[in-house]
Amino acid sequence: MNSEQIIETLLLWNFWERKIDTGILRKQYLGKLEKYVLTDEIVALTGVRRAGKSTILLQLLARLL
């Protein structure tokens, strides 16, 4: 595999260049999380499986970009 093929393959996984599906927008949670973005505080987002932890972080990422 040459370097061009490697780059081509990696571009398929690069989410910076494509629209991210962020599901249903949860404004109340986003507002709470945004308060921590510019602080030095470490925040752990916890919850049961399939509760939407990754989705809310993707929404925060999409809003910040």
For the chain, report the end-to-end CA distance as a whole number of angstroms: 33
The reported pLDDT for the residue numbered 40 is 92
Token output for 55: 């989705």
- Angle (CA) 36-39-41 rounded to 5° is 80
The reported pLDDT for the residue numbered 33 is 92
pTM value is 0.66
| Calpha distance 53→61 (Å, rounded) | 12
Q: Is residue 11 part of a domain?
A: no
Render pLDDT for 6-63 as a digit per residue (tens, 0 to 9).
988 888 888 777 777 778 888 899 999 999 999 998 989 999 999 999 999 989 988 8
Q: Is residue 5 part of a domain?
A: no
Q: Is residue 10 part of a domain?
A: no
Q: What phi and psi, each to the nearest 5 degrees, are found at residue 8? A: -60, -45
Q: Is residue 13 part of a domain?
A: no
The reported pLDDT for the residue numbered 45 is 92
Q: What is the number of domains present in the chain?
A: 1
The reported pLDDT for the residue numbered 24 is 86
Domain that holds residue 48: 20-64
Q: Is residue 31 part of a domain?
A: yes
Q: Is residue 37 part of a domain?
A: yes
